Amino acid sequence: MKISQLLADKGNAVMTIMPTDTVLDAAKLMAEHKIGALVVSYDKAHIDGLISERDIVRRLSQIAAPVVNEPVSSIMTSSVYVCQLDDEVNYVMQVMTENKVRHLPVVCDGKMCGMISIGDVVKSRIQELQTDAEHLLKYISAR
């Protein structure tokens, strides 16, 4: 399955936050939308970074409470792995596993056009396996 198919099912909404917004703003936005990461972007089209729950926890463990008033840009991941619409889900799963990331923005013509999480990838893979199992059962039953 290609990422384009996954996004067609899931939708291509991407939650973004400005680099100058606070970490507290990011935490509130993630909690409100029940998501684990936000793309950091000045214009909601280009990727300046990514801030995840993990980034917040790591920083909290270093300096404690003052982190909530810091700008997102102070703790975001600047080097962001991305994927394309024509990438295979298995390839994206490999990128996530090898680089220990749980979120990949999808980029089309140099701009964001969606976001894929590890949950999306796992859900897609489970659906594929269920479909394969159903086909095998039908094949076996027909014999």
pLDDT of residue 65: 61
- Whole-angstrom distance, CA of residue 43 vs CA of residue 133: 44
Task: Compute the average pLDDT of residues 110-126.
Answer: 92
pLDDT in tens, 21-50: 999 999 999 999 999 999 999 999 999 999
- Whole-angstrom distance, CA of residue 9 vs CA of residue 51: 25
Task: Compute the average pLDDT of residues 126-143.
Answer: 86
pTM: 0.80
- Whole-angstrom distance, CA of residue 15 vs CA of residue 100: 21
- Structural tokens at position 38: 């936000």
- Structural tokens at position 29: 């936005």
Q: What is the CA radius of gyration of the chain?
A: 18
Q: Which residue has the tokens 């703003």?
A: 25
- Whole-angstrom distance, CA of residue 51 vs CA of residue 77: 6
Domains and CATH numbers, the chain: 3-142 (3.10.580.10)
CA 93 to chain centre: 11
Calculate the average pLDDT of the chain: 91
- Whole-angstrom distance, CA of residue 29 vs CA of residue 36: 10
pLDDT in tens, 57-89: 888 888 766 778 889 998 899 999 999 999 999
Share of the chain above pLDDT 90, in %: 66
pLDDT of residue 137: 86
CA 75 to chain centre: 17
pLDDT of residue 4: 92
- DSSP structural state of residue 138: H
- Structural tokens at position 76: 């975001």
